């Protein structure tokens, strides 16, 4: 969301405030002068090591055969700043039925997070497993607490019911 009258100045400000640049690579992004401009500007400010590419459609440029240049996904600027761009694959992702961090895209999600935080993918996976184990423990504790309350309520109800029955007997 750019503000001000000068696009290059606004772009430079926002990109300099950013730690990483995530480039969604597709044939459309390859054709975009704005995407190429953002990549070049960011690479000058922060370096190519802080650019994360995500393949969302098309094919990597080196895999496009003759006559299929329109399917190339990597923007020219990305190829200029990186000798061989590597991208995390989100090919086949459908927003209506897929989640960015679940199912077949789980590994891709871990890779993107590892790149954002500059840690290994295995560290991200271990953190996620610990988080999931903690969530399971909390849920188990809540279920156990609810069950205990229900058992106490049942016991109290049975005691009062028995007393009521005994009072009604002659």
Each residue's pLDDT tens digit, 34-69: 999 999 999 999 999 999 999 999 999 888 888 888
Residue 156 confidence (pLDDT) above 80? yes
* Res. 88 pLDDT band, cuts 50 70 90: very high
Q: What average pLDDT score do residues 18-31 get?
A: 95
* 3-class secondary-structure state, position 10: helix
Identify the burial level of 45 via C-beta atoms within 10 angstroms of its C-beta, where 0-12 means exposed, 13-18 middle and 19 or more buried.
middle
SS3 102: coil
Adjacent-strand bridge partners of 87: 53
The model's pTM is: 0.76
Q: Which tokens hold the place of 161? A: 């019911």
**Is residue 2 pLDDT above 70, yes or no?**
no
pLDDT at 4 over 70: no
| pLDDT confidence of residue 1 | 59
Element (H, E) at 79: helix 76-81
Question: pLDDT class for 8, splitting at 50, 70, 90?
Answer: confident
Q: The dihedral of CA 68, 31, 110, 104: what is its sign?
A: negative
């Amino acid at each position: 969301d750019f503000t001000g009258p000068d696009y290059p100045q606004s772009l430079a400000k926002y990109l300099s405030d950013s730690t990483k640049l995530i480039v969604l690579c597709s044939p459309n992004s390859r054709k975009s002068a704005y995407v190429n401009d953002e990549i070049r500007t960011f690479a000058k400010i922060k370096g190519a090591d802080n650019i994360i590419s995500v393949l969302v459609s098309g094919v990597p440029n080196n895999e496009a055969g003759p006559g299929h240049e329109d399917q190339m996904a990597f923007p020219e600027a990305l190829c200029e700043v990186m000798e061989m761009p590597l991208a995390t694959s989100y090919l086949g992702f459908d927003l209506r039925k897929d989640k960015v961090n679940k199912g077949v895209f789980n590994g891709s999600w871990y890779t993107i997070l590892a790149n954002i935080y500059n840690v290994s993918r295995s560290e991200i996976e271990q953190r996620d497993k610990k988080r999931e184990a903690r969530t399971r423990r909390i849920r188990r504790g809540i279920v156990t607490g609810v069950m205990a309350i229900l058992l106490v309520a049942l016991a109290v109800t049975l005691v009062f019911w028995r007393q009521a029955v005994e009072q009604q007997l002659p």
